[in-house]
Amino acid sequence: MKDVLANLLSLQQEMREIHTLNELAFFIAHQTKLVAEYQRAIVWSSWQNKNIKILSVSGITQLNGTSPYQISANQFISKIITHYDQSKDLLILNIDDVAEAVATRWLEPLAKYAHIYFFRNLNKDIIGGVILLNPDMLNENELKQFDWISLSYNQAWSHLSKPNGLLGRIKYYFKSKRRRLVWLFIVIILSAMFIRVPQSVLAPASIIAKDPAIITVPMEGVIENIAVMPEQYVRRGEILFDMDKRDLVNANELAQKELATATAKYKTAVQSSYQDIEKRAEIQVLQAQMQEKALEVNYTRHLIEESYVRSTIDGIAIIDTPNQWIGKPVVTGENVMQVAIPNQIEIEIWLPVSDAINFQKGDKVKLFLNADPLNPVYGIIEYSSFEATITPSQVLAYQVIAYLDSNQSLPKIGSQGTAKLMGENVSLFYYLFRKPITTLRQFFGW
């Protein structure tokens, strides 16, 4: 018993003088005979059950990585790790009971038993191990001694496996394939952040007429009738709508009667002036009154004519729900409809202030129409308002006007969709994080 304890203490004492992993592997392969008999000892290192490397074999002073024996040893250890439970530190295999894949790679046909001890790091990952190949199974005392000294081997192995220096630590850290893949993915993502891409933003848009004729109310009154329907083609001079003319007709009739009365008085005064000299003084007054009434007749007749509102150009009528205007009181200059030339159109975009980006006149616009999202319409920015206004949807936005590329089929006026405005080139990082950066700067004030 004293000899056994002395051997164990001696092995531990000698391990303290070892400074490299290869020295420790050679020591384990040859000095373990002091506590257990074996035919062959194999010591190896590994990382995450892969990258198996034979560091020492008992009876061999110099290893050859390309030798058949060492290649077979690598395959043998790999099969054991693959087919057997790795949670146990000590594993005992019998060639008669092992899996076929392990049996076909058995290193020593005369060694029936394999005693395997796995070395682990603090994370319980397998970082190496020792295999003792024996014709017979180790007895109970030898197993206890081997298990006891293997704990010391494990501590020394774990300590010497740690890299020295910054470069060594980096190499040790990147031994893991998973870590390498994760960091490779991170590097690719970070590199992609510097890619220059066109800055873009989406905003609601519609097709509007370019320079349409604005049809307004010529006088205060009530609209009596709308003569056209939406998108109806009209000719220049064609009646679009007319005002209620009852007051005008009555005023014209009254003016005509007053003109007739004034004319009669004037003629009577002229005839009487030949006999009565005093009547001559009234002629000029009556003539002025007659001319005044004649002007009233002409004026009311002109208003009756103006109550028929006509188109000033050839084009299509743009009006929403014509019936809502019939009988509606209106004031002079109120916009009722527009007349536009069908092929003279442009894109109107309402860009919210929160989404505003830097763009210049001449930058490109791509419009995805709700009615035909698969066939975008292309345009070029022509104008942008200096000040933002409140849109009907109660959003503070800038008005952006873009003219359409002529080499495409033109949509109809009133089509709605979403426009993509293309601005200057920026980094992908800025493109993705522009809004969060803006929000943070507004919140922290830096």
Residue 274 has pLDDT above 70, yes or no: no
Q: How far apart are CA 391 and CA 354, in angstroms?
A: 14
Q: How confident is the model at residue 445 (pLDDT cuts 50, 70, 90)?
A: low
| Parallel, antiparallel or unpaired: strands 345-352 and 396-404 | antiparallel
Q: How far apart are CA 335 and CA 319, in angstroms?
A: 10
Q: How far apart are CA 42 and CA 25, in angstroms?
A: 9
Supply φ then ψ for residue 74, to 5 degrees: -60, -45
Question: Which is more confidently placed, 345 or 9?
Answer: 345
* Cα dihedral 436, 442, 444, 446 in deg (nearest 10): 100
Residue 114 has pLDDT above 80, yes or no: yes
Under CATH, which number does the domain 2-161 receive? 3.30.450.40
Closest CA to 330 of 212, 209, 208, 226: 226
Q: How far apart are CA 222 and CA 162, in angstroms?
A: 95
The tokens for 129 are 């191990």
Are the CB atoms for 83 and 104 separated by under 8 Å? no
Q: How far apart are CA 155 and CA 132, in angstroms?
A: 19
Residue 390 has pLDDT above 80, yes or no: yes
What 3-state class would DSSP assign to 411?
coil
What 3-state class would DSSP assign to 219?
coil
Domain boundaries, the chain: 2-161, 166-192, 201-210+344-444, 213-333
Are the CB atoms for 311 and 337 separated by under 8 Å? no
Amino acid at 40: R
Mean pLDDT of 425-435: 82
Q: Identify the CATH homologous superfamily for domain 201-210+344-444.
A: Efflux pump adaptor protein, beta barrel domain (2.40.30.170)
Dihedral (CA of 78, 83, 85, 89) sign: negative
Closest CA to 73 of 57, 90, 97, 51: 57
pLDDT value at residue 288: 84
In this predicted model, what pLDDT tens digit does every residue of 115-133 receive, in sequence order? Answer: 888 888 877 778 888 888 8
pLDDT value at residue 169: 55
Question: Which is more confidently placed, 436 or 401?
Answer: 401
